[in-house]
Amino acid sequence: MGSLERLARRYNGKQFNVIGISTDDDGRAAARFIKRSRITFENFLDSKVLLENMLGADTIPLTVLVDAQGACSKSPRGIRLGQSETVDAIGQAFHIKLPR
């Protein structure tokens, strides 16, 4: 979550946005975690796992890049967001040059 937060603080509202989707059964517990973590990016609850099923998620956490046309591409499991290689991969996926 920390690496996603760093990406959100740097890029949200500029070249792309970071959002979180929780599949927790307990929405209150998820909300408490977000509050304790001081996450600033948008978070949503998918307790019925509709999005997880739609995306064919086979692992959690799952990072998905969605372009302006709605096309999805999954990132490898365990991706360490915030590293320069990841920022490059995001730029390539969206065909943009991201400032460092």
Whether 99 is covered by a domain: the verdict is: no
**78 Ramachandran zone, left/alpha/beta (phi>0; psi -120 to 50):** left
Burial 18-41 (b: 16+ CB within 10 A, else e): bebbbbeeeeeebeeebeeeebeb
Whether 48 is covered by a domain: the verdict is: yes
Whether 67 is covered by a domain: the verdict is: yes
The tens digit of pLDDT for each residue in 12-61 reads 888 788 888 888 888 889 889 988 999 899 988 888 888 878 877 777 77
Question: By residue range, what is the domain housing residue 22?
Answer: 2-94
CATH, residue 27: 3.40.30.10
The tens digit of pLDDT for each residue in 58-82 reads 777 777 777 777 777 766 555 555 5
